[in-house]
Structure 1
């Protein structure tokens, strides 16, 4: 077998990578347009509420830009040999960065709300409710665009390059453990903004009816706590991938052992880690009294579609 036949690429991007990239850019454009409209209208009509929400939209667009640039760079550099395991984990790095930004937003929301409780300010209820409703509408559209449950996943195919088991992941791979943390980060940003709008509408509505000025900042604290919880979940999920840790309940290591450990074959060392959404790599050390070529064991692992890159080491041991 020639060297060229054995060579293979390390493109471990998610099956919906390019589609997700387009969706994030579209939401950025939608957000940017809304931002310009609000700032312009606020300036023309002298509405500080509109101007403030417009600038808030700008921070929202900046956070989404992290996800978009990560998708773009990962796709452009997918075959760059400097990335020895591809660029599939770049989305997890972007997701982790976004989680930190979300945590900062939650902290600022809570702090500003505390200041508002201590020093209440007059609220133009009708105007503020109108801004919150417009913001909610934009965020709901954005959330729908970024929610994977609303879109059909394309089918993939399973193939091998030389002696390496390699899988392109489709519907089967999406069955478990294939979260795209970059898309999750973008969706969480939009969802956090939508939650803020919903809480604001509720607080302002009751405030206008009963004069409860304290309800608006109280809702801000509640929203900050919820967003902080989402941020922590995203941080744990993306951080786990960055540290090559296996998620609780991940069944792939056990499945590898079940497939390999037959007869006298025993796994003495096993490393499994995620290299991209729906893609895992594995290093398997096998000790056996009846050694076979590594290709034999890799062929047995082909049924595990989550595995995209496999290295097998075989050591002969004395029969018991």
Structure 2
């Protein structure tokens, strides 16, 4: 008779958000590059950052569940979740640096956005996607652990950068102020850096506790 532990509701919600966000990320990166919208491209990369964060979180849930199925008691499940968050924080910093470098290059090249309508539609889809993801992650009972709460807050910050991308596209579309697009991309990168710093600080303290 099998005594396998079933997937928790948090693991199921996390899996859905990872797959859903990954699809949106691909769309935003492709449209951002093809339309020369740096803000939209940056938002796609930012979306990828929370695919990474939540993906690691998902992997941690799977690992914890499998360890419990094996009856293993030698591992601290909370530290496993925090370690996944700490690792994702390091990668988030690298992504933010990449966005800033790309934004500076686009700013100096002064490239025009080619397809405003498509860029706006994709950014709008991204905003809706983040709203849905936040709702799914939060669920009826709220977030149940540190990692899921961090992922929830990260999705909310992504929604804010989506709004910034839309503002940048609109400014270029109506007033031909193209530098705002790159500026918004840099701001979104700074949001990622700030979030990553706090994530590293909090999880680092937890991992070093005896």
- Would the TM-score normalized by the shorter structure come out above 0.5? yes
Q: Is the 2:49–2:95 Cα contact (8 Å) retained in structure 1?
A: no
How many pairs are equivalent?
A: 194
User: What is the CA-CA distance between 1:59 and the residue it aligns to?
Assistant: 6.0
- What corresponds to 1:143 in structure 2? 134
Report what 2:162 is aligned to: 197
Q: How does 1:67-78 map to 2 (within 5 A)?
A: 67-78=57-68
Mapping of residues 101-250 of structure 1, within 5 Å: 101-123=91-113, 124-147=115-138, 151-152=140-141, 180-244=145-209
More helix by share: 2
**2:74 alignment partner, SS class:** coil
RMSD (Å), alpha carbons: 3.0
With the length of structure 1 as denominator, give the TM-score of the two structures.
0.53
- Structure 2 unaligned segments of length 5 or more: list them: 1-6
Partner of 1:80: 72
**Is 1:48 the equivalent of 2:37?**
no
SS of equivalent residue, structure 2 residue 198: helix
1:192 is displaced (CA, Å) by 3.9
Residue 23 of structure 1: aligned partner: 13
Larger Rg, first or second structure (1 or 2) = 1
Considering fraction of residues, name the structure with more strand.
Answer: 1
Q: Structure 1 residues 33 and 127, CA, compared in 2 at 3 Å: closer, same or farther?
A: closer
How far does residue 216 in structure 1 lie from its aligned partner after superposition?
A: 0.3
**192-201 or 225-234, larger mean C-alpha shift:** 192-201
Instruction: Give the structure, 1 or 2, with the largest relative contact order (CA under 8 Å, sep 6 or more).
Output: 2
96, 107, 116: which one pairs with 2:86?
96
Structure 1 consecutive aligned stretches of length 4 or more whose deviation exceeds 3 Å: 32-36, 52-63
Q: Distance in 1 between matches of 2:188 and 2:59?
A: 28
Matches of 2:124 and 2:77, distance apart in 1: 39
How is 1:244-263 mapped onto 2 (pairs within 5 angstroms)? Answer: 244=209
Q: Which residue of 1 aligns with 2:3?
A: none
The alignment partner of 1:212 has SS state of: coil
Cα gap change, 1:236 to 1:62, in 2 (>3 Å): closer
CA contact (8 A) 1:49 1:128 kept: yes
Give the 3 Å change call, closer, same or farther, for CA 132–72 of structure 1 in structure 2: same
Post-superposition Cα deviations, 1:212-232, rounded to whole Å, max 9, x if no partner, equal: 000000111111112211111
Quote the residue 1:311 is aligned against.
Answer: none
Shift of 1:206: 1.6
Alignment partner, residue 4 of structure 2: none
